[in-house]
Amino acid sequence: MAAQRGARVVLAEAAALGGTCVNVGCIPKKLYSYAAHFTDDFRDAAGFGWHVGETRFDWKVLKANRAAEIGRLNGVYQKLLVDAGVQIVTGWATVCGPHTVQVRTARGDERFEARHILVATGGRPSVPAFPGREHVVTSDSMFDLDPFPRRLLVVGGGYIACEFASIFNGLGSRVTQLYRGEQVLRGFDDDVRRHVAQEMRKHGVDLRTQSHVVAIEKVNGELVAALDGGGTVTADSVLYATGRVPNVAGLGLEDVGVTLGAHGGVIVDDDYRSSVPSICAAGDVIARVQLTPVATGEAMVIVDRLFGTGRRKLGYDFIPTAVFTHPNIGTVGDTEAQAREKFGAVKIFRSEFRPLKHTLSGSGERTLMKLVVDAKTDRVVGLHMVGADAGEIVQGFAVAMKAGATKAVFDSTVGIHPTAAEEFVTMREPLA
């Protein structure tokens, strides 16, 4: 975008183009989530009169097809950059001064002078120190595990941990998930957390809360995890999904005066300027909202400020997000607890039901939908769903909420029948 506005741009990148999302994040994760859903689809088909023969999952085929698609996307990003006039330099970049970057390339070091420097280096998985840490893998490695883990231990309770537990359970692993807290998905609405945990267990994930690993040993080719309360879990692979940290190590930022926060993120002002005015930062490296569309939005604000009118802004309210557990989560706005703290009096509308599809499939999966309404203004301030295609459904409602839709507007909207989404416009009675 900066190059299209006439700026001379150099992009330094040490890995594949596209960052976490394209290479080891949301894109491959959702492709694997699609793959994992076929287990349920084959089972559900019987209730609709289909007789599905013997099925067999080929992990190598999925990996190869995913790699080919990611390679295609890498090429798309490269073409976009080259066509816009961006000079791509492959290598590790270090900031040497307010206007100087040095890149370590295969040909040797190259030095660049620039009026503006943008740090958009994303984040990386973080694994705590404990005995046996060298035996675990992080989310970056999950897409190419070899061989396929017949028994997978997932440590963590955030969205990455829950997604991979759901995905590998669906693909045929025997999955155990451990989380030291009382309930998974801290920060999400409590009803969503409860419902997702219940549904994941229904799908076959051995989800254990208030439990964590104290040590891991490799014994006869197997990984044996010792638990804090006694007992062990034996697995073929152990995934640690215990958080991500800003990717700032080795960039030279502190040496040139860039201030970092307590967790390593670059501290920026409302215009995404660091403590060194010529150095900006955006995306996961500033540790605000770690979502790809948010990073893109922040970058567009920076481009407009540097090379445009400077009027573009990014609002952090009503950012919709999805979690690709089985079933999916879609959420936008405040949780019930957040709304009560902000507004005091709130009205809660909640519906839990068996989707139409499962009246014939025989599945016990249930859908949860919830609205949080500010009682004083009638504005819908939170919308949450756990169920099939939750992300696709919530995206449209996020537009309405961003525009200030009230519960009266929801009530006056005609629903599409029969869909799960219509439940959001037909809930009439608040909970006592």
* Contacts made by residues 362-369, CB under 8 angstroms, sequence distance 24+: 362/44, 362/46, 362/47, 363/40, 363/43, 363/44, 364/202, 365/199, 365/202, 365/203, 365/327, 366/195, 366/199, 367/327, 367/420, 367/423, 368/191, 368/192, 368/195, 369/420, 369/423, 369/424, 369/427
CATH number of 3-124+245-307: 3.50.50.60
* 33 contacts 169 by C-beta, under 8 angstroms: no
pLDDT of 187 higher than 90:
yes
Average pLDDT over residues 131-151: 98
Give per-residue pLDDT as tens, 201-217: 999 999 999 999 999 99
Q: How confident is the model at residue 279 (pLDDT cuts 50, 70, 90)?
A: very high
- Note the pLDDT of residue 27: 98
* Residue type, position 338, single letter: Q
Give per-residue pLDDT as tens, 282-298: 999 999 999 999 999 99
273 DSSP 8-state letter:
B
Three-class secondary structure of residue 391 per DSSP = helix
Give per-residue pLDDT as tens, 357-398: 999 999 999 999 999 999 999 999 999 999 999 999 999 999
Both tokens of 378, joined, read 């009638």
* Residue type, position 325, single letter: T
- Note the pLDDT of residue 400: 98
Q: Residue 313: is it exposed, middle or buried by C-beta count within 10 angstroms (0-12/13-18/19+)?
A: exposed
Give per-residue pLDDT as tens, 32-75: 999 999 999 999 999 999 999 999 999 999 999 999 999 999 99
Q: Is CATH 2.40.10.120 correct for 321-425? A: no
- State the CB neighbour count (10 A cutoff) for residue 236: 17
Of the residues 37, 195, 263, 417, only one is catalytic, namely 417
* 349 contacts 335 by C-beta, under 8 angstroms: no
Catalytic site residue 417?
yes
* Residue type, position 265, single letter: G
DSSP string, 96-115: EETTEEEEEETTEEEEEE-S
Task: State which fold the 133-242 domain adopts.
Answer: FAD/NAD(P)-binding domain (3.50.50)
Query: What are residue 215's DSSP bridge partners?
Result: 226
Give per-residue pLDDT as tens, 300-358: 999 999 999 999 999 999 999 999 999 999 999 999 999 999 999 999 999 999 999 99
Please tell me the distance from the alpha carbon of residue 108 to that of residue 391, in angstroms, as a whole number: 46
pLDDT of 241 higher than 90:
yes
pLDDT of 263 higher than 90:
no
* 334 contacts 342 by C-beta, under 8 angstroms: yes
Q: Which helix (H) or strand (E) holds 395?
A: helix 390-402
Prediction pTM value: 0.97
Domain with CATH 3.50.50.60 in the chain: 3-124+245-307, 133-242
423 DSSP 8-state letter:
G
Helix count and strand count (H, E) for the chain: 10, 21
* 75 contacts 83 by C-beta, under 8 angstroms: no
Please tell me the distance from the alpha carbon of residue 405 to that of residue 356, in angstroms, as a whole number: 28
* Contacts made by residues 214-220, CB under 8 angstroms, sequence distance 24+: 214/130, 214/131, 215/130, 215/131, 215/132, 216/130, 216/131, 216/132, 216/133, 216/135, 216/136, 217/132, 217/135, 218/132, 218/135
Contacts of 15 (CB under 8 A, 6+ apart): 23
Give per-residue pLDDT as tens, 218-233: 999 999 999 998 999 9
Q: How confident is the model at residue 252 (pLDDT cuts 50, 70, 90)?
A: very high
Q: What percent of the chain has pLDDT over 90?
A: 99
pLDDT of 418 higher than 90:
yes
pLDDT of 28 higher than 90:
yes
Give per-residue pLDDT as tens, 161-184: 999 999 999 999 999 999 999 999
- Note the pLDDT of residue 173: 98
Domain with CATH 3.30.390.30 in the chain: 321-425
Give per-residue pLDDT as tens, 85-121: 999 999 999 999 999 999 999 999 999 999 999 999 9
The mean predicted confidence, pLDDT, of the chain is 97
